[in-house]
Structure 1
Amino acid sequence: MERISVTAKRACLNFALVFAFTSCSDKADQGTKKSDGEAGEKGERVELVTIEGIRRPKGFIVEKLHDIPMTTFGSLISLTFNSKGDLLAGSEKGPLSRIRLNDEGKVEEMEVVRGAPGQVHGILEAFDSLYLVSNEKEGLVRCRDVNDDGVYDQTELLLPLQGEGEHGPHAIILSADGENLVLIAGNHCPTTLETTFSSLPSPGGWIGLLPPDASKIEIIASGLRNAYDVVLNSQGDLFTCDSDAEQDAGLPWYRPPRFIHAVNGADFGWREGPEKWPKHYADSLPPIAELGPSSPAGLVSGHLTHFPKTYRNAIFVLDWTFGTILSVHLKPEGAGYSAKTQIFLSALNMPVTDAAIHSDGSLYFITGGRGAASKLYRIRHETPTEPNKEFRPGSRLREQRLRLESFHRSNPSDRALREAWESLGHADRWVRHAARIALERQPVDGWRTLFEKETNNRSSILASLALARKAPVHRRAALAKLSNLDFESLNEENQLAYLRTFAIASKIKPAPPSELLAIITPQLDDAYPASSDALNMELSRILSRLEPKGFINKTLNLLQTRRSSRAEVDFSILDHNPVYGNRFRRFAESPADPLGLHLAFMASHADAINWRPAQMKRLASWLRQSLKDAPKGTNYHDVINRLSENVENALTPDVRAKLGPRTKSPSSPRILPQGPGRNWTLTAALKATETLSNRNFANGRRTYKAASCADCHIFAGKGKAFGPVLDGLSQRYSRGTILEAIIHPSRTVPETYATSIITTKSGNVFSGRIVSRDKDGLFIAENPFAPNEITRLEQSVIEKEDVSRLSPMPNALLNSLNPDELKDLTAYLLADGKADDSRFIRSN
């Protein structure tokens, strides 16, 4: 039967549905604190001052240059300068616009660009052409102005690209050598033509190198979730920021927003749900900075500005959610970089989207996105200084990395093999990453003898990793090499690489060789538990499969005796969007325990016949306490609850009796609208809600429940996470945008919440939201009002997948409301659920 979950090979306490309960986005750290103080090469103290509500470093001037008319130009999301010094701005739903500046750099005129498509995420003027990443045209478009009159006479769709919207194709820039294009795309945008990979293909978002005619794509880096922009620093190195899925904060697979050095061949490990790679995996690379709660959008490099020297090596990151511009100060370190992050600019209600550097060294930026009003600003320094444009040679290790990366794109050769092998054991992670990928590009027969004779621990492990990744046929040899190493004698970095290699190499059908497991398993069992969280995560992951005697007891002891760390959260950032940031504030006040939850999962994987009643009671008790401590209204809470239910359902009656009954929240009676209702059009709703004073808070809160909003949305920390989180609405959207989204929900459907239509090979059709995937199949929730009812579909039975353009949200939710209910509900949403808002009568 297609509805039945995959049959387990052995009985165990947990179920895959626990993972399915989370969204198919992403999250283990809570982020890093952004400094208001030290940054720069010498750690200079930067004093921030607030003028007209905008906080910025002392000495900087911030000017609002223009309020963008929404009806004509839409909500702006992309920005760049053309060769004439005009600004070109793309809108999420509207046209491409041109902003002409006068000699003082202020707005002289704004107009729609004729002949160019709209809904533009990426803009680049190069090769006598204008390149646009356009959702309207569903791909990369090349426009040409033959007469140089500002009207584009020729428009050509060079590269069709799927995944329109927020997780589709995004920015485009010129490559460092000026000869190619660099395009970045989100995790809903598969490549559509001849594609070459430096490393093994991976899912998720990608960064590609394209010739000017976009006839092919060479993947530079992959395994991203939804990186929006990409930028080059003064050295020509490539950087991007990847986004998170904040609803999964606290879960073992949560990955905070991250600033990434996008080197050639990198796989940054984004996968669906719990399949995501942690940053310690040896075949991936870590971020050089974790940004904490944020929604990274546009990026620009400080080396093009006329700002003080402190900012010349910085990348400016625009954070849409919290209205901040961060400066990420880069410092060359080995073959890569280290970084310090600080707040450069911040303000309330300022959803920044993109920026561009003027020829005079000032920084222009825009606000907008998701229907928010757009404004144009300029930042300049009161004493501008031109940058030193002398070329600074990179470090020896950087040059070594670049030379190794050149072998990723070239044909196999003796030189490539020799240099790759010599660099496998290098102390620098970025060098050996490039070396391993270069080795994977060489035929195995050419390095089999080197592999067999290698005695260096690190080189042996990395070569085994390369061999195991090449093909399953080589995995026995990789396991044999690992069996010759003494795990206890390895340092932690090499132990983690060993465990990652074992995890891949042991995937041998029908089973890995027992004689090799007999050598390796006792070593890993002796090392568990270890002294670090990363080692315990990987050892428990592997030992839950091997299940040596005592694994359950060791894991339960570790679970109950370890101390979880409290993540450092920058509360000043959360205050910029206090309601939306409340999710992270709750985790700061009631810290999540991602490793503890991971250990609970791994223990529950153990074969049921190996559990004793007392052990089952210990696990159930730990889950109950964790559930009590977990912030409600979060996926973290819901996942613990689902695992707790599954574990307790497996208890014997006598153990369940000793544990006592589970506490359940009392169900509330259904609240209905008072009415009488009417057919609310957008025009009528906007007119009715023009004035929102002396409104009734209690009635607004009641109407929110009566209109079924709480059945699908989290708001003010309560509700269900089937639809988008509504916290912070007033700081992100206008009243008109909110009402339009309710009355016409299908006009804009966030891709994360789109309805998927799955057709099976037998002709059955399933329609709903895909909440999780793994390599063998997916989980789909078909009823938006019962998100816990989840169906498992195996990949083998799926014929095709489509995405509906219709929202799962019903159209007529407001039609049962009377005018006062509509007004009070609108006020309640705009007030972010706060009774002390000025829209409400004080007595309410």
Structure 2
Amino acid sequence: MRIRGLKKLVRMVSILLFVFLFACSFLFACSESYAQRYHATPADMFATVDGFQAELVYDVPSKTQGSWVSLTVDPKGRLLACDQYGGLFRVDVSGAEGAASKQVVEKMQVDLVGAQGLLCAFGSLYANVNIRTEDSNTNACGLWRLTDTTGDDQYDKKEHLVPLDGGSEHGPHALILSPDGERILMCAGNNTPLPAAITRSRVPRVWGEDHLLGRMPDARGHNANRMAPGGFVASVKPDGSDLELIATGFRNEYDIAFNHHGELFSYDADMEWDIGTPWYRPTRINHVISGAEFGWRNGTGKWPDYYPDSFGAAVNIGPGSPTGICFGYGAKFPPKYQRALFVADWSYGNLYAVHLEPSGSSYTGSYETFATAAPLPATDLVVHPDGMLYFTVGGRGTQSGLYRIRYVGDESVEPDVALEQGTASASLRDLRNTIEATHVSPIASTVDLAIENLGHEDRAIRFASRTALELRGVDVLRHQVLKLEDKQARILVVVALARHGTEADKPAALAALNQIDWDGLSIHQRTDMLRAYSLVAIRLGGIASDEAMPILDKLNSRFPSGDKQIDRELAALLVYLNAPEIVGRVVTQMEQSPSQQSQIHYAFVLRESKQGWSESLFERYFSWFRDIQSARGGASFGGFIENIKTAALGNVPEQIKTKLADVIDPPSSDEAAEVSAPRPLVKEWTVDELEDVVANPSTIDLQRGKSVFAEAQCFKCHRMGYEGGILGPDLTGAGGRFTPHDLLVAMIEPSKEISDQYGATQFLTDDGRVVVGRVVNLSGDKLRVMTNMLDPASQTSVDRRTIEQAKPARNSMMPQGLLDTFTREEIADLVAYLRSGGKI
């Protein structure tokens, strides 16, 4: 009996142990499945354009395969991806439905780490390495060529073709093939010094900082020692020789792409710490023409788009962190999206479709959110031969994944082969390309062709022509500076001469400008002239008081002009020239400007001014610093304001400082807020209550409408013309697209319809926290969430491992009740101002 009982007990224990082990293995399998399925953002969290579907192809195991940042397609249709800090992986997506698994993701045997650019071409794999390792000989930064010499489908030979000094996130990046298939183009961010072995440069090698009133470095010290020329694009032959510099002045363009016309584009980064300042430049699509300069400089020094020596942007996007880009050519998408330029925003988790349109010989365009999720740190993207768009997420140690987007709608996906031919834009582009060809191989007619087109109405043709002249040498410029009758051409040849000449060229340069009648110039010609005067002062030895007299006779009475762009440049030049009573006029503009960006610009212009002050002007000027305390911006915003104030105090006599002590050192922001009473509530307005007065106003006061726009804090998030913020939609053209009813709905019921581009995400964490906002930065498992658009520097940290649920927020990030402190008549004027496009 005892033996039989013992056997029964053993049998029961065995069964229980089996059940226990089975349960453990099942739970482990389930937990592993859960982690693999949900560690990367699930595909069902994506919002896409109608007719498209996002799919998670492969959830990258971070412990063994890292965080993928670059992607390309090899000749056999396999994907190659590289970890930011690790090796190279090959992914076979030829299985059922293109799905990948662990078995078809192969770690390549080659010793390669940290490539942020990959390209299969000329029978090799090219890799642009951007990581510093202990073995600098094996894994040095720069362009490498990897070749399979044994035919075993592995890369066994490595050649370091172009050494580059990289290692930071603004280092060497993407690689692409030239349209003729003969060269390789590469790009790099502004922390990458130019390669040592430049054979030739399409960019005239006279880059400088070029700030008339000086520049302040970033208030937090970022890149304070990084000077021009900034990030660059260059090309080489397949063996790495014949390195040609194509364009400069980028901040951190991660990728580049050619369209069907052979025109090059990039998606360049902003400096998010600058948000709210006049020198902030949003992420933007650049048309990278030959010899282009895009004007990145550190700190306050970014050049505005309208400078004649900076080419500017084709499309401004907004805050973000640009990564991979590619055109949709070859995708089984509707024609509109085959032609689109797809660009990835790493921090805000967006894939944008940019729809470029010819504008003269260059381009302009629009964009839409093509796909988005939170978080979605997209890094690179390619169109695969299977007709789908594949992209990776990762970077900074964040969870990586491989996704694809397919079209599942009803429109035709036949290849779109239509090319724009025989149009005015095509003819202008051909002319520009002809001029640009002389940047590479100057011919006898270069000078005549360039001079003939220096005053062309097309900006890109003017830029190409001036560059062609500069590449021919300073003697050509000296010969032409006083001969040109065309006003635009004369201004630009002075710009060129100032960049290349010596102090001996100053009299001729000033004479050429002084002879030009201001009244006969367009707005862009006036800003070009003001920049030309500034470059003469910066580069040719300054402008003495006697040299300033004819300039002041022409320009002093022109300020303020009423045009914000011209007034910003006029203020700087007139302060530099010590124009009579200019300090008082600039202080007035500072006080009356509705946007904080314009106010900061004028405060910055006056910070080093030593003449023309009175006690009352000092009081008004320093009172502004008290008033600006309520303004918000990026992480460096407050530091910039404090540094401007500190610089200005250096020019205040001690007795004035004593008299104005309470103004210079006011109460804290909290105490000041108590003194400043808010506007009283008028009514919690509804759309129906305002519809009639907005549609049929008895009178219209556009100036009051602009004031309401400012008082309602709209300028903090929205741009109107040249003024305002960029966190919300640009409202300059809103009046042409929306009815008065639509505008009222957008302001009074902001959550009724929320664009994916400006939508927020609601995160529920395991400790019960609810965080609503937009993911703006990531590092490992940490998300940085902006919860208040009026205070972009104030962010909440969320540990991704604690998130129980993430879903689109139902409420807009635009605050409710913004109009409730205004009267019917004021709101009617606001709508009229919006419908006018900001024109008063």
Counterpart CA distance in 1 for 2:289 and 2:331 is 24
Q: Does 1:286 align with 2:286?
A: no
Classify 1:734/1:74 alpha carbon distance in 2 versus 1 (closer, same or farther; 3 Å): farther
1:222 to 230, 243, 248: 248
Classify 1:829/1:348 alpha carbon distance in 2 versus 1 (closer, same or farther; 3 Å): closer
User: Counterpart of 1:52 in 2: which secondary structure?
Assistant: helix
1:468 to 498, 513, 538: 498
User: Counterpart of 2:165 in 1: which secondary structure?
Assistant: coil
Moved more, 389-398 or 270-279: 389-398
Q: What aligned pairs does 1:744-759 form with structure 2 within 5 A after superposition?
A: none
Q: Report deviation, 1:392.
A: 4.7
Matching residue of 1:595: 598
Cα-to-partner distance string for 1:388-447 (whole Å, 9 max, x where unaligned): 336554700000011111111123x43111110000110000111101101112244446
Matching residue of 1:11: none
Q: Does 1:419 align with 2:449?
A: yes
Q: What aligned pairs does 1:764-779 form with structure 2 within 5 A after superposition?
A: none
1:152 to 152, 155, 172: 155
Q: Does 1:73 align with 2:65?
A: yes
Matching residue of 1:54: 46
Classify 1:727/1:428 alpha carbon distance in 2 versus 1 (closer, same or farther; 3 Å): same
Aligned length: 616
- Answer yes or no: is the 8 Å Cα contact 2:321–2:346 preserved in 1: yes
Classify 1:658/1:408 alpha carbon distance in 2 versus 1 (closer, same or farther; 3 Å): same
Q: What aligned pairs does 1:7-46 form with structure 2 within 5 A after superposition?
A: none
Matching residue of 1:743: none
Matching residue of 1:119: 114
User: Counterpart of 1:303 in 2: which secondary structure?
Assistant: coil
Counterpart CA distance in 1 for 2:373 and 2:803 is 23
Q: Report deviation, 1:220.
A: 0.9
Matching residue of 1:503: 534
Cα-to-partner distance string for 1:237-296 (whole Å, 9 max, x where unaligned): 111011111111112211111111111100000011122211110111120111112111
Classify 1:390/1:716 alpha carbon distance in 2 versus 1 (closer, same or farther; 3 Å): closer
1:199 to 203, 206, 215: 203
1:324 to 350, 353, 374: 350
Counterpart CA distance in 1 for 2:521 and 2:581 is 24
Matching residue of 1:386: 414
User: Counterpart of 1:101 in 2: which secondary structure?
Assistant: coil
- Answer yes or no: is the 8 Å Cα contact 1:424–1:458 preserved in 2: yes
Counterpart CA distance in 2 for 1:462 and 1:243 is 28
Q: Report deviation, 1:101.
A: 1.8
Counterpart CA distance in 2 for 1:397 and 1:560 is 44
Q: Does 1:82 align with 2:74?
A: yes
Counterpart CA distance in 2 for 1:490 and 1:159 is 47
Q: Report deviation, 1:660.
A: 7.9
Q: Does 1:137 align with 2:134?
A: no
Q: Report deviation, 1:335.
A: 0.2
Q: Report deviation, 1:501.
A: 0.7
Counterpart CA distance in 2 for 1:105 and 1:314 is 23
Matching residue of 2:590: 559
> Could you say which structure has the higher helix fraction?
2
Q: What aligned pairs does 1:336-351 form with structure 2 within 5 A after superposition?
A: 336-351=362-377
Counterpart CA distance in 1 for 2:803 and 2:98 is 41
Cα-to-partner distance string for 1:751-801 (whole Å, 9 max, x where unaligned): xxxxxxxxxxxxxxxxxxxxxxxxxxxxxxxxxxxxxxxxxxxxxxxxxxx
Q: Report deviation, 1:149.
A: 1.6
Letter in 2 for 1:423: N
Letter in 2 for 1:142: R
Classify 1:540/1:632 alpha carbon distance in 2 versus 1 (closer, same or farther; 3 Å): closer
Letter in 2 for 1:62: A
Counterpart CA distance in 2 for 1:319 and 1:311 is 18
Q: Does 1:106 align with 2:99?
A: yes
Max radius of gyration: which structure?
Answer: 2
Letter in 2 for 1:494: Q
Q: Does 1:436 align with 2:431?
A: no
- Answer yes or no: is the 8 Å Cα contact 1:59–1:381 preserved in 2: yes
Q: Does 1:406 align with 2:437?
A: yes
Classify 1:420/1:85 alpha carbon distance in 2 versus 1 (closer, same or farther; 3 Å): same
Q: Does 1:488 align with 2:519?
A: yes
Please provide the CA RMSD for this pair. Answer: 3.0
2:167 to 164, 168, 180: 164
Moved more, 313-322 or 644-653: 644-653
Mark the runs of 5 or more structure 2 residues left unpaired by the alignment: 1-41, 132-138, 208-228, 672-764, 771-782, 807-840
Letter in 1 for 2:186: L
Q: Does 1:619 align with 2:645?
A: no
- Answer yes or no: is the 8 Å Cα contact 1:117–1:137 preserved in 2: no
- Answer yes or no: is the 8 Å Cα contact 1:265–1:437 preserved in 2: yes
Classify 1:329/1:422 alpha carbon distance in 2 versus 1 (closer, same or farther; 3 Å): same
User: Counterpart of 2:598 in 1: which secondary structure?
Assistant: helix
Q: Does 1:456 align with 2:486?
A: yes
Q: Report deviation, 1:95.
A: 0.8
User: Counterpart of 1:395 in 2: which secondary structure?
Assistant: helix
- Answer yes or no: is the 8 Å Cα contact 1:729–1:829 preserved in 2: no
- Answer yes or no: is the 8 Å Cα contact 2:326–2:341 preserved in 1: yes
Moved more, 516-525 or 100-109: 100-109
Mark the runs of 5 or more structure 1 residues left unpaired by the alignment: 1-49, 565-592, 668-691, 698-712, 736-826, 832-844
Q: What aligned pairs does 1:432-831 form with structure 2 within 5 A after superposition?
A: 432-446=462-476, 448-472=478-502, 473-507=504-538, 511-512=542-543, 514-564=545-595, 593-608=596-611, 610-627=612-629, 629-631=630-632, 634-644=635-645, 647=648, 650=652, 652-653=656-657, 655-656=659-660, 659=663, 662-664=666-668, 727=795, 729-730=797-798
Counterpart CA distance in 2 for 1:152 and 1:654 is 73
Classify 1:696/1:496 alpha carbon distance in 2 versus 1 (closer, same or farther; 3 Å): closer
Matching residue of 1:709: none
Classify 1:372/1:528 alpha carbon distance in 2 versus 1 (closer, same or farther; 3 Å): same
Counterpart CA distance in 1 for 2:185 and 2:379 is 20
Counterpart CA distance in 2 for 1:446 and 1:643 is 41
Counterpart CA distance in 2 for 1:303 and 1:267 is 28
Q: Does 1:301 align with 2:364?
A: no
Q: Which has the higher contact order (CA 8 A, sep 6+)?
A: 1
Q: Does 1:265 align with 2:260?
A: no
- Answer yes or no: is the 8 Å Cα contact 2:498–2:539 preserved in 1: no
Matching residue of 1:678: none
Counterpart CA distance in 2 for 1:79 and 1:302 is 15
Counterpart CA distance in 2 for 1:132 and 1:524 is 54
Letter in 2 for 1:613: E
Classify 1:131/1:490 alpha carbon distance in 2 versus 1 (closer, same or farther; 3 Å): same
Classify 1:696/1:481 alpha carbon distance in 2 versus 1 (closer, same or farther; 3 Å): closer
Cα-to-partner distance string for 1:618-650 (whole Å, 9 max, x where unaligned): 1011221112x2228842223223434554673
Classify 1:175/1:387 alpha carbon distance in 2 versus 1 (closer, same or farther; 3 Å): same
Cα-to-partner distance string for 1:439-466 (whole Å, 9 max, x where unaligned): 1122444464543221111111111111
Counterpart CA distance in 2 for 1:428 and 1:324 is 33
Letter in 2 for 1:354: D
Matching residue of 1:29: none
Counterpart CA distance in 1 for 2:158 and 2:94 is 29
- Answer yes or no: is the 8 Å Cα contact 1:193–1:216 preserved in 2: no
Classify 1:83/1:453 alpha carbon distance in 2 versus 1 (closer, same or farther; 3 Å): same
- Answer yes or no: is the 8 Å Cα contact 1:173–1:181 preserved in 2: yes
Counterpart CA distance in 2 for 1:510 and 1:234 is 46
Counterpart CA distance in 2 for 1:73 and 1:508 is 52
Matching residue of 2:263: 237
Matching residue of 1:212: 238
Classify 1:511/1:188 alpha carbon distance in 2 versus 1 (closer, same or farther; 3 Å): closer
Counterpart CA distance in 2 for 1:506 and 1:426 is 26
